[in-house]
A and B are shown apart, each in its own frame.
Chain A
Amino acid sequence: MIEVNNLGKSYDGNPVLERLNVKVKEGEFVTLVGASGCGKSTFLKMLLGTESPTSGELLLDGKPIADEPGPDRGIVFQQYSVFPHMTVLDNVMSAVGFAQRGLTGYLFGAKRKQARLDAEAILDEVGLGHALKKYPHELSGGMKQRLAIAQALLGKPRILLLDEPFGALDPGIRADMHELVLRLWKEHKLTIFMVTHDIKEGFYLGTRLWVFDKVRQDPHAPQAFGATITYDLPVDSSARQPAAKTTAEAIAPLLAHSAS
C-alpha cells in the first residue's frame, strides 16, 4: 500500500532523513521510535502531507502521496487535536460536516440526525458517551485524546497517524489508551503509524517497529548525514504482553481492599 523509495528530506541543505526504502502493507501497525531529532516525526509529516520529500518517492497505492493533508489520512497529535470551541459531540459531528462539500460544513435535517447517531455511537465506543455536552477544556488529557481519536475515526481514514499521542498521559491512562487503540485498529481495519518515545510502547502495540538512527557519522560535521531506518523489527502480536497495568487493573486491589 505504501512504498518508500530512496526517500530523503533535508532542511536548508542539512539532511534529516536519507536513503529510506521500505514497504508497508494494508492493516499493519507500525511504531516509529528513535532519539529526539532523528526524523521520525518528519517522516510522519511527510505521510500527513504537511512536509514534502526533498528526494526520492513516497507512494500511496503507486501514486505520490498528496502534498497537503486529506481525508484518507487521519491524525492525532499530542495536543491541540480537538476544536476547543465545540462540545465533545460537535467535535465528532464536525467530521461528518467537513466530509461533505459546501461552504460552511454545517449539517441540517436528516443528515444532522444521522451524524449525531454515528457520533454518539463512536463516542460510546471510545468511552466518552457520558460527556457529550462537555467542552474540551473540561476533559482530562486522556479523555481529550479519546475524543481526538473518535473524531479522526469518524472521518473514515485508511491510514491513522499518531504523533506521540500518549506522551503527556499518566502510565495507567496510557495503558487504557493502548487497549483502546488496539481494539479500534482491529475493528476498523486501519493502517496505523505511531511515533513514540517509549520503546516498550512500541514493542507492545505494533506489528512492526522501526528504529530511526544515523548510520553514517562524521564527528567533524554532525549535521552532514541524515537518519534512516536502522532496524525494521517484526513484532509478534500473539505474544503481546501488557506494557503496564491498565487503570482498572491497577486500582482493583485498592478497591477490593477498601470494600472489605
Chain B
Amino acid sequence: MKRLINLSPTPVTRVFIGLLPFVLLLLVYIVASDARLEANPNDKLLPAFSQMGAAIDRMALEPSKRSGDYIFWVDTASSLKRLGMGVAIAASIGLAIGLLTGALPVINASMSPLLTVVSLIPPLAILPVLFIIFGLGELSKVMLIVLGITPFIARDLLRRTQEIPSEQLVKAQTLGANTSQIMVRVLLPQLMPKLIDAVRLSLGAGWLFLIAAEAIASTDGLGYRIFLVRRYMSMDVILPYVAWITLLAFLFDWLLATLSRRLFPWNVQGGN
C-alpha cells in the first residue's frame, strides 16, 4: 500500500468522487423535502423541485401580471449591468494605479500609503455615504462595487508589476527604451493576464457588494428579488435564484480563464 500522499485517483475515479458530494447533497435534500411535504403539503422551507420549476416558469417564461416584464430576465440584466460596469471600472482604475505605482518609485512613494489605508476601509460601512452622495440610483451600487474591489486589484497588480524581473527593464533600457515605452511594451502586456487573474479573484467580492447594495435600495436585480420574496418565505424562488447566481459566477470565471489562455499563450508557469 502506497502512502496516502502518493495515492492519486485515476481520471475516471476523479470524476466520480468529484460528483459524489453533489449527488449526496441532492439526495439528502430530496429525502428531507419529501418528508416535510408529506407531513405538511403547504410547507415552504424545503420546496420540491417541481415547485421550484413552477416558480421559475412563472418568473422567467411568463410576463408579470403587474408590469408585463419577464421578471427573471429583467433582474438578471440589471444585476449583470451593475456588476459588469463596476468590475470594468474597477479593473481599469486598478490596472492604471497598479502599473504606475509598480513601475515608478516616485508615484509608489506617494500613493502606496494611501492605497493601503483605502483598502482597509470596509466598503459596506461607507455604503450610506455612497447613498448620500450618489443617490439611490444605479450609480451608488456601481460605486460600491468599484470601491470594494479596486484597492484589491490595484495592490495585486502593484505586486505583479514589481515581480517582473528587473533584468527585463535593464534590457529594454540598453535597447534605448524610454519610461513610457517600457510601461507600454514590457510591463503592460505582461500585466494583462495578471489583471484577468485579479478580476477572477475579485468577482466573488463583486457579487457580494452587488447583492448587498440591491438588498438595501433597489427596484430590480437578482439580490433585490431574493430579499423581496424572503418576506413570503418563497424558498421556491430563492433557491433557483441562488443556483442561477452560482451558475453565472461559474460561467464568468470559466470565460475569463479561457480568455486568458487564448489571448496570452506565453503566460505559462516558469515561462521566462
Q: Which residues in A have some Cβ–Cβ distance to B below 8 Å?
A: 48, 50, 68-71, 73-75, 77, 79-86, 94-95, 97-106, 135-137, 148, 151-152, 154-155, 157
- Flag whether B105 is at the interface (Cβ < 8 A): no
Q: Tell me the minimal C-beta distance from B141 to chain A in angstroms.
A: 36
Docked Cα-Cα span, A158 to B168, in Å, equals 20
Which A residues touch B181, using CB under 8 A? 97-98, 102-105
> When each residue 259-272 of chain B gets 1 if its CB lies under 8 Å from chain A and 0 otherwise, what string results?
00000111110111
Which B residues touch A81, using CB under 8 A? 167-168, 171
Docked Cα-Cα span, A8 to B212, in Å, equals 63
Which A residues touch B177, using CB under 8 A? 98, 105
A83 touches B186 (CB 8 A): yes
Q: Which residues in B have some Cβ–Cβ distance to A below 8 Å?
A: 165, 167-168, 170-178, 180-181, 184-186, 189-190, 264-268, 270-272
Given A77-B167, A104-B184, are A137 and B175 neighbors across the interface (CB < 8 Å)?
no
**Contact residue among B167, B172, B184, B271 (Cβ-Cβ distance under 8 Å from A136):** B271
Docked Cα-Cα span, A137 to B175, in Å, equals 22
A155 touches B168 (CB 8 A): no
Which B residues touch A74, using CB under 8 A? 174-175
A80 touches B167 (CB 8 A): yes
Which B residues touch A100, using CB under 8 A? 176
Query: Which chain A residue has the least Cβ–Cβ distance from B266?
Result: A135
A79 touches B180 (CB 8 A): no
A85 touches B171 (CB 8 A): no
B173 touches A103 (CB 8 A): no
Docked Cα-Cα span, A98 to B182, in Å, equals 8
**Contact residue among A50, A99, A106, A135 (Cβ-Cβ distance under 8 Å from B271):** A135
The interface centre, meaning the residue of B174, B266, B272 with most chain A CB atoms within 10 A of its CB, is B174
Query: A71-B174, A71-B176, A79-B167 are known contacts; what are 15 more A-B pairs with Cβ within 8 Å?
Result: A48-B170, A69-B174, A75-B174, A80-B165, A95-B175, A95-B176, A99-B176, A102-B181, A103-B180, A103-B181, A136-B271, A136-B272, A137-B270, A154-B175, A155-B175
Q: Tell me the minimal C-beta distance from B190 to chain A in angstroms.
A: 5
Which B residues touch A135, using CB under 8 A? 265-266, 271
A152 touches B174 (CB 8 A): yes
Docked Cα-Cα span, A48 to B170, in Å, equals 9
Q: Tell me the minimal C-beta distance from A143 to chain B in angstroms.
A: 13
What are 26 A-B pairs with beta-carbon distances under 8 A?
A50-B170, A69-B173, A71-B176, A74-B175, A75-B174, A79-B167, A82-B171, A83-B168, A83-B172, A84-B272, A86-B266, A94-B175, A94-B185, A95-B176, A97-B185, A98-B177, A98-B185, A100-B176, A104-B185, A105-B177, A106-B185, A135-B266, A136-B271, A137-B268, A148-B171, A157-B174
Docked Cα-Cα span, A81 to B165, in Å, equals 9
B174 touches A137 (CB 8 A): no
Docked Cα-Cα span, A135 to B267, in Å, equals 10
A136 touches B185 (CB 8 A): no
Q: Tell me the minimal C-beta distance from A99 to chain B in angstroms.
A: 4
Query: Which chain B residue has the least Cβ–Cβ distance from A68?
Result: B173
**Contact residue among B168, B175, B185 (Cβ-Cβ distance under 8 Å from A71):** B175
Listed from nearest, the 4 A-B pairs whose CB atoms lie closest are A137-B271, A105-B181, A71-B176, A98-B177
Given A84-B190, A85-B189, are A75 and B265 neighbors across the interface (CB < 8 Å)?
no
Given A85-B267, A104-B181, A135-B266, are A75 and B176 neighbors across the interface (CB < 8 Å)?
no
Which B residues touch A83, using CB under 8 A? 168, 171-172, 186
Docked Cα-Cα span, A104 to B178, in Å, equals 9
A151 touches B175 (CB 8 A): yes
Docked Cα-Cα span, A54 to B233, in Å, equals 76
B176 touches A80 (CB 8 A): no
Which A residues touch B189, using CB under 8 A? 85-86
Query: Which chain B residue has the least Cβ–Cβ distance from A103?
Result: B180
Which A residues touch B267, using CB under 8 A? 85
Docked Cα-Cα span, A97 to B180, in Å, equals 12
Q: Tell me the minimal C-beta distance from A256 to chain B in angstroms.
A: 37
B185 touches A75 (CB 8 A): no
Which A residues touch B265, using CB under 8 A? 135
Docked Cα-Cα span, A157 to B242, in Å, equals 62
Which A residues touch B266, using CB under 8 A? 84-86, 135-137
Given A84-B266, A85-B189, A135-B271, are A104 and B174 neighbors across the interface (CB < 8 Å)?
no
The interface centre, meaning the residue of B165, B167, B189, B268 with most chain A CB atoms within 10 A of its CB, is B167
Which A residues touch B178, using CB under 8 A? 101
Docked Cα-Cα span, A135 to B268, in Å, equals 11
Which A residues touch B174, using CB under 8 A? 48, 69-71, 73-75, 152, 155, 157
Q: Tell me the minimal C-beta distance from B204 to chain A in angstroms.
A: 28
Docked Cα-Cα span, A69 to B181, in Å, equals 15
